[in-house]
Structure 1
Amino acid sequence: MKYKKRFILYFVLLAMVLFIMHMIRTRLLSPDFQHRDVSEIAQEDTLRIVTDYTPLSYHISGDTILGFDYELAKLIAKRSGLQVKVYPEVSLSKSVEGLERNRYDIIGRPIPVTTDSKEYFLFTDPILLNKQVLVQRKAEYNNGKKPIRNQLDLAQKHLYIISDAPTRLRIMNLAHEIGDTIYVNEENTYGDEQLIIMVAKGEIEFAVCDETIAQEMSKHYPEIDFNTDISFTQFQSWALRHTSPLLLDSLNTWLNDIKKSPEFQKLKTKYYGKKRK
């Protein structure tokens, strides 16, 4: 009886192991987890890029789609000869999930290149320079209260960022640098532009976002001040899976060619030409 029970136990364990192995194999062979690099993309003749839904990356004006990253994707289509499909997505985490599951081949939105982010992505050669800034109201729109200029004054303050933004890590490091707590409130529904509008209207006191977005929004909301830096100037690039090294090589070739062209200079001036006031 003792050996019979032991045999049944071994049989059950073996069945469980075989079942788990079958599930893993099925998962790995599913379309979401199949290897996808240059040859697979060329076979499909379609490059799928997910970008941010913001005034700078991708937005709709009348019956026209505009945006730096959208228009850059179209230049890549010209250089590569591939069909390029661009998908707007506010959530960075959903963009990352889509990249991991092969729904997208490239995250075409500004992502700071840091030691931490390199653990998760392959990055193209730098496309832009950017930095994170503190968005707050100017004194004349805030009962005479002067904007914060010293990062030490951020102690015990509540800063709003979009959910899953790389900005969280920078703020955590900043809190460590000043030796005090900085509270981070993540917004799960809205994007950077909505947070800036909330600051302009006095609904929240502080937000942190890319300087380029704040600069663009300041054209429509003169109430905001974005002259206090939260980070140093950083390279920003597009991101790929670690399993797409050949695509990275091809993409860098296309981008380096594009960056030398008059088309790119016009595009850069169109969206980033004006200096910060």
Structure 2
Amino acid sequence: MHTVAVLSLQDSLPFDLATPVEVFGRVRLPDGRPGYRVVVAGEAPVVSAGPLRIAADDGLEACERADLIVVPGRNDPLRPTSPAVLEALRGAAARGSRVASICVGAFSLGEAGLLEDRDATTHWLGTEELARRFPGARVDPDVLYTDNGDVLTSAGAAAGLDLCLHIVQRDYGVAVAADSARLAVTPLQRTGGQGQYILRNRPTYQTATLERVLQWIEEHAHRGLTLADIAAAAGLSARTLTRRFAAETGQSPIQWLGGVRIRHAQELLETTDHTVERIAAQTGFPSVSNFRAQFGQTVGVAPGAYRRTFRT
């Protein structure tokens, strides 16, 4: 049986803390035995977790006996993590225990020095800051979780569930993990990464030089636009327009146009029964094959899979 210590940190996100407790606590092996012993460990006997109060089963010394330590996210992930917690994480890693984070709990792993030269992720809103604070980490903003063997990280809250099921599969195989997924009423493996969620939020840029042309692209993306068309709408040369787009958006005008078309397609997949062929034509893609290829590359899943996930 594996022992899991779920850290109870001040200002923890309750969902992040409860997910590993629930998933690992309900794992049963084929003979009926529990697969994990779960302990809630904390520096203090009781901590505030949003509107809740969480009582710890044990102190941080429980990390010394754990095979896996799980670090939940906190409401303010940029607030320094307690030195005692960081020391417990370093000590556990040095002894060969696995250390995992849920959502922005990755910032605590970074503070402990455990992300250096390792793959990592966190909630998509925090990936740029994670990469900035810990440049030695290989931060991937799209994946749902990363597994370096000894250090594991996950994206937003629901991705913590994906990570926990992945760990169960690693420890006990597909059959036990699939049974745990059925108990949680979730697929054992979700298709795609964070990209399918990120693009649902429309990017906004406050820029005097591009605001008008960005709005123009928004309204005319369904047309067969060229760089020359966009430059003419902006009243700029193609070279100047490209330079300003690179400086202010980090993309070329055509890349930006593609992102707008993808987002429009996402909205149609979510809210209509239109065929993929019709949506490709409605959103300005030159062919349905081009649409499928660009959608899969950008979002991480096929249009049909995206519709099944997000159809309202």
Q: Which is richer in helix?
A: 2
Taking structure 1 as the reference length, what is the TM-score of the superposition?
0.30
Q: Which has the higher contact order (CA 8 A, sep 6+)?
A: 1
